[in-house]
Amino acid sequence: MSSWFENVVTVCLIVNCLSVLLLVYRVVWGPSSADRAVAIDTIGINLIAITALVSIRLNTIDLHDVILLIGILTFIATVAIAKFLDRGVLIDRDRN
Amino acid sequence: MDRGSNDLILKTTTNIIVFIILAFSVNSFFSGHNAPGGGFIGGLMGAGAIVLLYLAYGIGPINRVIPVNYRIVLAAGLLIAFLTGMGSFVFGVPFLSHSFGHFHLPLLGDTELATAMLFDLGVYLTVLGVTMTIILSIAEDDGDTSD
């Protein structure tokens, strides 16, 4: 791996970590619960990017499963949080 | 209870995404021998797909679509893992000795089949059964501890 490419990956990692820090600010001081839910969802997406960049840095393809896994878990968790905020119950008893 | 909820976007998205999650679950189960993955993460992802179905449709419809008692799945997984270990006694080798062989399958060609995959299938079913038992037990609880 050439050195300028490593520098680009490092800069991208730093930018992603700064983004996660700003999102942590939103999670801690967010006015409402929905703000925190959206911030946590976006932190998950930033984690996907960080995992991909780390897998480039480590020159391995073994982290690709982790990327898909974080995406799926973030989606399920966001749906669960949204449903809890909307109705207060996650799994409905019998709807029809 | 029914506030005229119309989860059309959630239900349509779930119909598509559940297949992707189940495919990822089966893929990581089968690729666990040579790549990251295996029975544990495969079972957790399968449970995640079923949990997503329960989130979108509720308990009643999914119980009609997937009429499976997950305690039996749990017991079947433990039984498969146990019988895989006992199977080594048939060939006079120590407990849990695994072996493998190359076979010619119709569509796949030369395939290496290992008995460790049967043990992994037991892990898969056990993890799936435990996770779904925990989640459904909590979901079916009324939460009425007052009376």
pLDDT digits (tens, 9 = 90+) for A47-96: 999 999 999 999 999 999 999 999 999 999 999 999 999 887 888 776 44
**What is the gyration radius of the CA atoms in chain B, in angstroms?**
19
Chain A: closest CA distance from residue B15 (Å)? 13
pLDDT of B45-92, one tens digit each?
999 999 999 999 888 888 899 999 999 999 999 999 999 988 888 888
pLDDT attached to residue B70: 92
Residue of B63 and A1 predicted with greater confidence: B63
**Two tokens at B119?**
């043990």
Residue ranges per structural domain of chain B: 8-140
pLDDT of B99-141, one tens digit each?
887 888 787 778 788 888 899 999 999 999 999 999 999 888 7
ipTM: 0.84
One-letter identity of residue B19:
F
Residue A18 pLDDT exceeds 70: yes
B23 touches chain A (CB under 8 A): no
Alpha carbon dihedral B100, B101, B102, B107, in 10-degree steps, equals: -70
pLDDT attached to residue B1: 47
Q: Which band of pLDDT confidence, cut at 50, 70 and 90, is reported for residue B142?
A: low
Sign of CA dihedral B61, B67, B72, B76: negative
| Average pLDDT score over residue span A15-42 | 93
A48, A12 Cβ separation under 8 angstroms:
no
Chain B residues within 8 A of A69 when measuring between CB atoms? 24, 41, 45
A85 touches chain B (CB under 8 A): no
B45, B25 Cβ separation under 8 angstroms:
yes
Count CB pairs under 8 A between chains A and B: 59
* φ and ψ at residue B3, rounded to 5 degrees: -95, 30
pLDDT of B6-47, one tens digit each?
789 999 999 999 999 999 999 999 998 888 888 899 999 999
Task: Give the chain A residue whose CA is nearest to the CA of B1.
Answer: A95
Chain A residues within 8 A of B56 when measuring between CB atoms? 79
Whole-model pTM over 0.80: yes
